[in-house]
Amino acid sequence: MDLQLSGRVAVVTGASKGIGLAVTRTLLAEGARVVAVSRKSTPELDALSGTGLVHVAADLMDPEAPGQVVARAVEEFGGLDILVNNAGGPPPGTALPRFSFLAPTDDDWRTMFEFNLFSVVRAIRAAIPAILQRGGGSIVNVSSGSARLPAPMNVDYNAAKAGLNNLTKALSEEYAAQGIRVNTVSPGPVRTAWWTEEGGAADIIAAQVGTDRDTVMNTVAPEMMKLSTGRLVDPQEVADVIALLVSPRSASTTGADFAVDSGFLKQV
């Protein structure tokens, strides 16, 4: 299926690995031109280099960074059609999961909201004028199933993502008539660096339950989170949904939230 993305310009944050890397690869394959944003590149991102890809090294915790990224997209490719706010999760230097409301400090809360909500607010604020100049486009915010299924684990992260869902709905109402669609994609647990890196979620849970990293990812986490498919989500599965949402083929889809979560969310 042709997603009609050839020649369109996208900014993808958190693009060096995981979901962001999969989104970048998919949009490039569909003919889009991509500004890939991350603190640093990776060999996997470098392997995608070509005339349609520009990597911008940026720390989105810097309030000036989102605007600079959008300006670079306009400078390199002449405009902006698509914004994928994928960067999120544990802020730099933070290890998740935390198992209690009392665990995060005030500084932890501030940092969590800065990374998972405020950086997105700034990116959208910078992107909207550029997207409007092109006659409209699409914004996808990567949220989390935990925004709709809150629990004491990672309570600060869950609250930030719930705020992101609310923001998305509000933006979809304000800008639909001007041609900008805004949606969320809410993954469940995805087999990304958050889980797989040394000291990541799998290691933290393994230490709690007395097992190893692979057993956590293959058995303990799917059982603990009651995943219907019995496995963690693959990043490409999330990227495929995002690619469809940013496509003109989804022209009537806005203000929606798409769960790509292995059956994590059970409620109607």
Helices (H), 31-114: 43-46, 65-77, 106-113
Q: 256 burial class (0-12, 13-18, 19+ CB within 10 angstroms)? A: middle
How crowded is residue 27: how many other Cβ atoms within 10 Å of its Cβ? 29
* Residue recorded with tokens 């970048």: 24
Q: What are phi and psi of 108, to 5 degrees?
A: -60, -45
Contact call for residues 260 and 187 (beta carbons, < 8 A): yes
| pLDDT tens sequence across 189-203 | 999 988 888 888 899
23 in a structural domain = yes
User: Rounded to whole angstroms, how far apart are CA atoms 161 and 169?
Assistant: 13
Residues 185 and 228 in one domain: no
Helices (H), 49-105: 65-77
Residues 45 and 153 in one domain: yes
Angle at 194 between CA 243 and CA 231, to 5 degrees: 70
What pLDDT does residue 70 have?
98
How crowded is residue 223: how many other Cβ atoms within 10 Å of its Cβ? 10
140 in a structural domain = yes
Residues 131 and 225 in one domain: no
| Partner residues linked to 185 by β-bridges | 142, 258
Greater model confidence, 150 or 116? 116
Task: Please tell me the total count of domains within the chain.
Answer: 2
Residues 149 and 211 in one domain: no
What pLDDT does residue 136 have?
98
- Please say if the pLDDT value at position 267 is more than 90: no
Residues 169 and 213 in one domain: no
Helix (H, G, I), strand (E, B) or coil at 30: coil
Residues 224 and 142 in one domain: no
77 in a structural domain = yes
Residues 165 and 219 in one domain: no
Residues 57 and 76 in one domain: yes
- For a pLDDT cut of 70, what percent of the chain falls above it? 100
- Please say if the pLDDT value at position 254 is more than 90: yes
Residues 141 and 195 in one domain: no
| pLDDT tens sequence across 77-106 | 999 999 999 999 999 989 889 999 999 999
**What is the CATH number for 95?**
3.40.50.720
The two tokens of residue 141 are 């915010």
Residues 36 and 164 in one domain: yes
Domain carrying residue 135: 9-190+233-260
Catalytic sites, residue numbers: 157
Q: What are phi and psi of 180, to 5 degrees?
A: -105, 120
Contact call for residues 113 and 91 (beta carbons, < 8 A): no
252 in a structural domain = yes
Q: What are phi and psi of 81, to 5 degrees?
A: -115, -30
Residues 149 and 179 in one domain: yes
The mean per-residue pLDDT over the stretch 1-25 comes to 97
What pLDDT does residue 159 have?
97
For the chain, how many residues are written? 268
The mean per-residue pLDDT over the stretch 58-80 comes to 97
29 in a structural domain = yes
265 in a structural domain = no
Q: What is the pTM of this model?
A: 0.96
57 in a structural domain = yes
53 in a structural domain = yes
Residues 239 and 174 in one domain: yes
